[in-house]
Amino acid sequence: MNIVTSKYARFENFLPIEVNQSLMEFTLNHESYFIQRPTSPDYPAQYAFGAPNGFTAWKFVILKQVKLCLPQVFKALDLKPFDVGEIETDVSSYPDMGYLATHNDTFCANTRVLSFVYYYQNFEKSFSGGQLALYDSEVDCFLNTQKANSCHLIEPENNTCVFFPSRCWHEVLPVACDFKSFPNNYFSGGRFSINGWIHKAFN
Protein backbone atom coordinates (compact mmCIF):
# COMPACT_ATOMS: atom_id res chain seq x y z
CA MET A 1 0.00 0.00 0.00
CA ASN A 2 1.15 3.50 -0.84
CA ILE A 3 0.05 6.42 1.31
CA VAL A 4 -1.17 9.50 -0.56
CA THR A 5 -1.21 12.62 1.60
CA SER A 6 -4.42 14.62 1.41
CA LYS A 7 -4.19 18.28 0.45
CA TYR A 8 -6.49 21.17 1.15
CA ALA A 9 -6.69 24.92 0.66
CA ARG A 10 -8.03 27.12 3.44
CA PHE A 11 -9.16 30.74 3.04
CA GLU A 12 -9.71 33.05 5.99
CA ASN A 13 -11.99 36.12 5.90
CA PHE A 14 -13.76 34.52 2.96
CA LEU A 15 -16.63 37.03 2.97
CA PRO A 16 -16.85 40.60 4.29
CA ILE A 17 -17.62 40.22 7.99
CA GLU A 18 -20.90 42.12 7.69
CA VAL A 19 -22.05 39.63 5.04
CA ASN A 20 -20.91 36.73 7.21
CA GLN A 21 -22.93 37.97 10.19
CA SER A 22 -25.96 38.78 8.02
CA LEU A 23 -25.92 35.15 6.90
CA MET A 24 -25.80 34.04 10.53
CA GLU A 25 -28.67 36.35 11.46
CA PHE A 26 -30.72 35.05 8.53
CA THR A 27 -30.03 31.48 9.63
CA LEU A 28 -31.08 32.08 13.23
CA ASN A 29 -34.28 33.77 12.07
CA HIS A 30 -35.20 30.81 9.87
CA GLU A 31 -34.67 27.78 12.07
CA SER A 32 -37.86 26.34 10.62
CA TYR A 33 -36.07 25.84 7.27
CA PHE A 34 -33.90 23.11 8.78
CA ILE A 35 -35.03 19.51 8.86
CA GLN A 36 -33.21 16.48 10.21
CA ARG A 37 -31.46 14.48 7.53
CA PRO A 38 -32.81 10.93 7.28
CA THR A 39 -30.58 7.91 7.77
CA SER A 40 -30.10 5.63 4.79
CA PRO A 41 -27.95 2.58 4.03
CA ASP A 42 -26.86 4.35 0.82
CA TYR A 43 -25.34 7.31 2.67
CA PRO A 44 -22.85 7.70 5.53
CA ALA A 45 -24.26 7.72 9.05
CA GLN A 46 -24.95 11.20 10.39
CA TYR A 47 -26.84 13.34 12.85
CA ALA A 48 -27.34 16.67 11.13
CA PHE A 49 -29.95 19.05 9.79
CA GLY A 50 -30.22 20.57 6.32
CA ALA A 51 -32.09 23.47 4.77
CA PRO A 52 -33.19 22.40 1.27
CA ASN A 53 -34.99 25.69 0.69
CA GLY A 54 -34.66 29.38 1.52
CA PHE A 55 -30.93 29.97 1.05
CA THR A 56 -30.73 30.45 -2.73
CA ALA A 57 -29.50 34.06 -2.56
CA TRP A 58 -26.85 33.18 0.02
CA LYS A 59 -25.60 30.27 -2.07
CA PHE A 60 -25.04 32.68 -4.98
CA VAL A 61 -22.97 34.91 -2.68
CA ILE A 62 -20.78 31.96 -1.70
CA LEU A 63 -20.45 30.64 -5.26
CA LYS A 64 -19.31 34.01 -6.58
CA GLN A 65 -16.40 33.99 -4.14
CA VAL A 66 -15.70 30.28 -4.72
CA LYS A 67 -15.22 30.87 -8.44
CA LEU A 68 -12.84 33.77 -7.77
CA CYS A 69 -10.69 31.51 -5.58
CA LEU A 70 -10.45 28.58 -7.97
CA PRO A 71 -7.11 29.56 -9.59
CA GLN A 72 -5.51 29.62 -6.12
CA VAL A 73 -7.21 26.34 -5.22
CA PHE A 74 -5.91 24.58 -8.34
CA LYS A 75 -2.39 25.73 -7.51
CA ALA A 76 -2.57 24.77 -3.83
CA LEU A 77 -3.88 21.29 -4.61
CA ASP A 78 -1.62 20.69 -7.63
CA LEU A 79 -4.68 20.22 -9.81
CA LYS A 80 -4.74 20.86 -13.52
CA PRO A 81 -7.37 23.57 -14.15
CA PHE A 82 -10.59 22.25 -15.65
CA ASP A 83 -13.82 23.62 -17.06
CA VAL A 84 -16.34 23.83 -14.24
CA GLY A 85 -19.72 22.22 -14.75
CA GLU A 86 -22.46 21.92 -12.15
CA ILE A 87 -21.81 23.14 -8.62
CA GLU A 88 -24.04 21.54 -6.00
CA THR A 89 -24.62 23.36 -2.73
CA ASP A 90 -26.13 22.46 0.60
CA VAL A 91 -26.67 24.16 3.98
CA SER A 92 -25.87 22.14 7.10
CA SER A 93 -26.42 22.49 10.83
CA TYR A 94 -24.76 20.14 13.32
CA PRO A 95 -26.31 20.44 16.80
CA ASP A 96 -24.99 18.97 20.02
CA MET A 97 -23.72 15.43 19.28
CA GLY A 98 -24.02 16.10 15.53
CA TYR A 99 -21.58 14.24 13.29
CA LEU A 100 -21.03 12.82 9.79
CA ALA A 101 -19.33 9.45 9.38
CA THR A 102 -16.33 8.76 7.14
CA HIS A 103 -16.99 8.90 3.39
CA ASN A 104 -15.78 10.49 0.21
CA ASP A 105 -17.88 12.75 -2.00
CA THR A 106 -17.60 10.70 -5.18
CA PHE A 107 -19.70 7.81 -3.84
CA CYS A 108 -22.84 9.22 -5.48
CA ALA A 109 -21.37 11.27 -8.38
CA ASN A 110 -18.01 10.41 -9.92
CA THR A 111 -17.85 13.74 -11.79
CA ARG A 112 -17.30 15.60 -8.52
CA VAL A 113 -13.73 16.89 -8.48
CA LEU A 114 -13.60 19.49 -5.69
CA SER A 115 -15.50 19.82 -2.44
CA PHE A 116 -15.69 22.90 -0.26
CA VAL A 117 -17.05 23.87 3.16
CA TYR A 118 -17.77 27.45 4.23
CA TYR A 119 -18.08 27.84 8.01
CA TYR A 120 -20.07 30.55 9.75
CA GLN A 121 -21.16 31.18 13.34
CA ASN A 122 -21.61 33.87 15.96
CA PHE A 123 -18.56 35.89 16.96
CA GLU A 124 -18.51 34.06 20.29
CA LYS A 125 -18.10 30.38 19.48
CA SER A 126 -20.39 28.24 21.62
CA PHE A 127 -19.36 24.70 20.69
CA SER A 128 -16.30 22.49 20.58
CA GLY A 129 -15.46 19.62 18.27
CA GLY A 130 -16.99 19.49 14.82
CA GLN A 131 -13.60 19.37 13.12
CA LEU A 132 -13.28 18.20 9.54
CA ALA A 133 -11.04 15.12 9.64
CA LEU A 134 -9.45 14.90 6.18
CA TYR A 135 -7.76 11.51 5.85
CA ASP A 136 -4.79 10.46 3.79
CA SER A 137 -5.46 7.56 1.40
CA GLU A 138 -4.01 4.08 1.11
CA VAL A 139 -3.70 3.10 -2.56
CA ASP A 140 -3.08 -0.48 -3.71
CA CYS A 141 -1.54 -1.70 -6.98
CA PHE A 142 -4.98 -1.69 -8.62
CA LEU A 143 -5.47 1.99 -7.65
CA ASN A 144 -8.20 1.12 -5.16
CA THR A 145 -8.27 3.50 -2.23
CA GLN A 146 -9.25 3.40 1.40
CA LYS A 147 -8.72 5.83 4.24
CA ALA A 148 -5.41 5.78 6.07
CA ASN A 149 -5.06 6.33 9.81
CA SER A 150 -3.32 9.68 9.37
CA CYS A 151 -5.37 12.83 8.80
CA HIS A 152 -5.53 16.61 8.99
CA LEU A 153 -7.88 18.01 11.65
CA ILE A 154 -9.36 21.26 10.33
CA GLU A 155 -11.10 23.53 12.82
CA PRO A 156 -14.52 24.94 11.78
CA GLU A 157 -13.56 28.58 12.28
CA ASN A 158 -15.95 31.39 11.44
CA ASN A 159 -15.76 32.90 7.95
CA THR A 160 -13.29 30.36 6.60
CA CYS A 161 -13.67 28.18 3.51
CA VAL A 162 -11.85 24.89 2.97
CA PHE A 163 -11.40 23.18 -0.41
CA PHE A 164 -10.23 19.59 -0.92
CA PRO A 165 -10.40 16.87 -3.61
CA SER A 166 -13.78 15.14 -3.55
CA ARG A 167 -12.10 11.72 -3.66
CA CYS A 168 -10.51 12.27 -0.23
CA TRP A 169 -11.97 10.38 2.73
CA HIS A 170 -13.29 12.67 5.43
CA GLU A 171 -15.73 12.98 8.32
CA VAL A 172 -17.21 15.57 10.68
CA LEU A 173 -16.25 14.81 14.27
CA PRO A 174 -18.95 15.06 16.98
CA VAL A 175 -20.05 18.53 18.08
CA ALA A 176 -20.38 19.46 21.76
CA CYS A 177 -22.44 22.60 22.48
CA ASP A 178 -21.64 24.72 25.53
CA PHE A 179 -25.00 24.77 27.33
CA LYS A 180 -23.43 25.99 30.57
CA SER A 181 -22.24 29.32 29.13
CA PHE A 182 -24.97 29.53 26.49
CA PRO A 183 -28.27 28.10 27.81
CA ASN A 184 -30.98 27.20 25.30
CA ASN A 185 -28.58 27.28 22.36
CA TYR A 186 -29.45 23.90 20.88
CA PHE A 187 -29.88 25.44 17.43
CA SER A 188 -28.05 28.77 17.60
CA GLY A 189 -24.95 27.26 19.21
CA GLY A 190 -24.39 24.56 16.61
CA ARG A 191 -21.94 24.19 13.74
CA PHE A 192 -23.19 25.85 10.53
CA SER A 193 -21.79 25.51 7.04
CA ILE A 194 -22.55 25.88 3.37
CA ASN A 195 -21.08 22.92 1.51
CA GLY A 196 -20.43 22.48 -2.18
CA TRP A 197 -19.31 19.98 -4.78
CA ILE A 198 -17.74 21.17 -8.02
CA HIS A 199 -18.19 18.96 -11.08
CA LYS A 200 -15.97 18.84 -14.11
CA ALA A 201 -17.79 19.88 -17.30
CA PHE A 202 -17.92 17.33 -20.08
CA ASN A 203 -18.48 18.71 -23.57
CATH of the domain at 154: 2.60.120.620
Q: How many domains does the chain have?
A: 1
What pLDDT shows up at residue 91? 98
What pLDDT shows up at residue 166? 96
Domain enclosing residue 170, as ranges: 2-37+44-200
d(CA 88, CA 52): 12
Q: What is the pTM of this model?
A: 0.94
What pLDDT shows up at residue 73? 98
What pLDDT shows up at residue 20? 97
pLDDT one-digit tens code per residue, 34-55 = 999 988 888 899 999 999 999 9
What pLDDT shows up at residue 140? 63
Counting as low any pLDDT under 50, the low residues of the chain are 142
